Each structure stands twice: as structure tokens, then as C-alpha cells.
Amino acid sequence: MITRHEVLISLYGAWRLFLRDPRGIEWLDDSIEGFWKSFFCAVIVLPVYVFWFLVRDGEAAEAGFIRTFAVEGIAYVIAWVAWPLVMAYVAPAIGRDDDYIRYIVAYNWSSGVQVAILLVVLVIEVSGLAPGGVVAIFGVIATVLVLVYHWYVLRIGLEITGLPAAALVAGDFMLARVIHGVSQNMLQ
């Protein structure tokens, strides 16, 4: 079982990576046990996902609560395991299999920082503090921040250069869009 101290240290390491401190990776447990514990971040960010789910407009009402809950729940789990599974094949193919665990640990814990960034935009949208156009601009900025952050995590975690990291970010982004698209189609 993961301790509160381990969670805080791991999130701190992810935060350091967000601040472009390559030593942030040293705060993360890149052992096999640390690899499995890093998936606990899915539990940490789940309340934000549920909040996002609850404020979306009308999808749950159209498809029914149970169906929506099941589809969204399954999509959430798939989203958490799909990229690590893809990278289990990609990392050896690009000669970075020794860095796979370190990268996935960093990737998983970085989700805590990414969700915090997106939560700010969601709160601004829901609270009505800014008009829709401004919220859209904040959303674009937040998305770019998240993508650049993932690019940096890839570079540090796998010790690769910028262009391969950018290609992998694009792959992860596309995979996430496919998972989201399939889940949305199942709700129609």
C-alpha cells in the first residue's frame, strides 16, 4: 500500500519536472513497486474527473446514468492503462527499455499536475468568472502546457531528444482522443 508521504514526494517530483527541473525525476520511485504505486495517481485525480463528468452538459441525461457511469468508468481505466501498454512495446523498439519504468512512473505522477492545470480552467468555466471566449483561450493554453509538460517528461524519463518526444506526445494525444471518441459514441 502506498503511504501519504510517498504520494506527496511523488507529486513533488512531478511538480519539479513541471518547473523544468530534471532532478525532479530523482524524487520518483522507479522500482517495480514504485511503478505499480504510481497508478495510485488515478485515484487522486478521480474526483476532478468526476467533477468534470458532472458539469458536462446533458450526456448523462441522454444515455442514462448507469450506462454513462459504466462507459465513462471503463474509459477512465482504459485511458490509464493504454499508454503504458503502448509504451511497453515502443520503449524497447526505440532502445529505451531500461528507462521504461522510470518514464511511466513520471508519466503517471505528472497526471496530478496536469489535472490541476485543467481543473483551474474548469473552475473558471463553471464559476462564470470569464466569458466563453476567454475560457476557450485558457483551455488552449492549458492544453499546450500539458502537452509541453508531457514532452519534457518523455525527454527526461526516456532520455530521448526533442523530435522523438514530440512524436510520442502526438501518439499519446491521438490515443486519448480515440478513447474519448469511442466512449462518446457508446453514449449515443
Q: What's the 3-state SS for the chain?
A: CCCHHHHHHHHHHHHHHHCCCHHHHHHCCCCHHHHHHHCCHHHHHHHHHHHHHHHCCCHHHHHCHHHHHHHHHHHHHHHHHHHHHHHHHHHHHCCCHHHHHHHHHHHHHHHHHHHHHHHHHHHHHHHCCCCHHHHHHHHHHHHHHHHHHHHHHHHHHHCCCHHHHHHHHHHHHHHHHHHHHHHHHHCC
Q: What is the pLDDT, as a whole number, of residue 6?
A: 98
Q: What is the pLDDT, as a whole number, of residue 46?
A: 96
Average pLDDT by stretches of 10, the chain with 188 residues: 97 98 98 98 95 68 80 95 98 97 98 95 90 92 97 98 98 97 89
Q: What is the pLDDT, as a whole number, of residue 61?
A: 59
Domain span including residue 36:
4-186
- The number of folded domains in the chain is 1
Q: What is the pLDDT, as a whole number, of residue 54?
A: 80
